[in-house]
Amino acid sequence: MSAEPRLFGKILIANRGEIALRILRACKELGIATVAVHSTADDDAMHVRLADESVCIGPPPARESYLNIPQLLAACEITGADAVHPGYGFLAENARFAEVLAAHNVAFIGPSPEHIRMMGDKIEAKRTAKRLGIPVVPGSEGSVKDEAEAAKIAETFGYPVLIKATAGGGGRGMKVARSAADVPIAFATARAEARAAFGDDSVYIEKYLANPRHIEFQVMGDGMGTAIHLGERDCSLQRRHQKILEESPSPAMTPELREKMGGIVAKAMAEIKYAGAGTVEFLYDNNAFYFIEMNTRLQVEHPVTEAVTDIDLVNEQIRVASGLGLSVKQKDVRFVGHAIECRINAEDPRTFAASPGRVTNFHQPGGLGVRVDSAIFQGYSIPPYYDSLIGKLIVHGRTRQECLMRLTRALDEFVVDGIRSTIPLFRELVKDPDIVGGRYDIHWLEKRLTPH
């Protein structure tokens, strides 16, 4: 007889910063021992201080530490960790990493390598979405070999079109062609960027939607044919395709539309027997949804979903990976109130230039409905080697108006001295009539930041 599923005994957290601390907290609440891995630049990091054990896995460059699979595997063997949580970024969507762990009897807290690969290739992801009944943006069936083919395909659904890298993300390898004359330079530039960023210069083409919103649905699957959705997040406030602020529910959504689209994505995830947390991302334009990609991991903005559903997503990830399944059914999911997250980056609020350095004063806001996910502290030196995200401010209120008022108050309390941060930008944004009224799309912030 096979043993009954049980929670892991020890989880190695293959990440750093606020997400490592977030995972560590979930493990402690479940009574699971933790292992923090870190580069030499993160010797005094908060997750290293709070973990049960820590292992230094290399020098500051990520490729020599946080992306170093042999070192991470060695850390698992040294500490006896029986599972790895990758967080987001780094190796979170690396199918080979998941396979290597499995070959050494270490569980990967995430979906199967098959699903990571399926959704990591944007062309394959689009084909899969189409097959599963998820609406997609009109575009090429596969990669486009040259600019002549790109121009021919563009004529079938009209300009403007978007030429996109099939691999990667973050806005790299994406160029807009507004007419046939723009195709050669857009095609060449997208390919060059894709090759430099991802080592793969293949691109595809799709219809460019002028002023859409970016709306994504949170899904959780048990890997055995059951999946649920936890509503949507509106991530339309972006700069260079990087999310700045996220909220749930979306100001553009109705309960009926949420139930319809959530049902479609949950059914699709159940059909492929998806395991763990995932996010199905859409562009929403003229009352229509168009699939753009799926992230097979936890998202930076997962706390807004946790706030409106009161469901711990990391807890659910660990349960699913251990074989215990989901703790909730779709009928148990309730959406209460409104939540907004601001990404606090160590960047100049005007130029967005990175601003690493020592934090001389740090005071985070508190009070009812306020949550701060951050791993920095007074005296902490932010290293220059990694992502500039230093924290997330999440607020929850009974209504969107109450949420915005609470966010305004919390931002006024937030103090991070010694470096520049994006806090001043958010203090301005929460007072803007368009933000207050929920009238913004994915291009809104770029237009606002561009001097006239």
3-state SS, residue 230: strand
Q: What phi and psi values does residue 41 have, to the nearest 5 degrees?
A: -75, -20
Cross-strand bridge partners of residue 58 = 39
Measure the CA–CA gap between 285 and 434, rounded to whole angstroms: 18
Measure the CA–CA gap between 441 and 167, rounded to whole angstroms: 25
Q: Are 292 and 337 in contact (CB under 8 A)?
A: no
Catalytic residue, chosen from 117, 191, 233, 297, is: 297
Residue ranges of the alpha helices (H) in 200-289? 255-271
Q: Which residue has the tokens 């007419």?
A: 179
Cross-strand bridge partners of residue 281 = 216, 293
Q: Are 174 and 104 in contact (CB under 8 A)?
A: no
Q: CA geometry: angle at 287 spanning 269 and 129, to 5°?
A: 25
Sequence-distant (≥ 6) Cβ neighbours of residue 369 within 8 angstroms: 395, 396, 397, 403, 406
Look up 297 and say whether it is catalytic: yes
3-state SS, residue 312: coil
Amino acid identity for residue 397 in this structure: G
List C-alpha distances in Å: 411 to 6, 363, 431.
Answer: 41, 11, 12
List C-alpha distances in Å: 7 to 146, 304, 384.
Answer: 51, 26, 36
Active site residues per annotation: 297
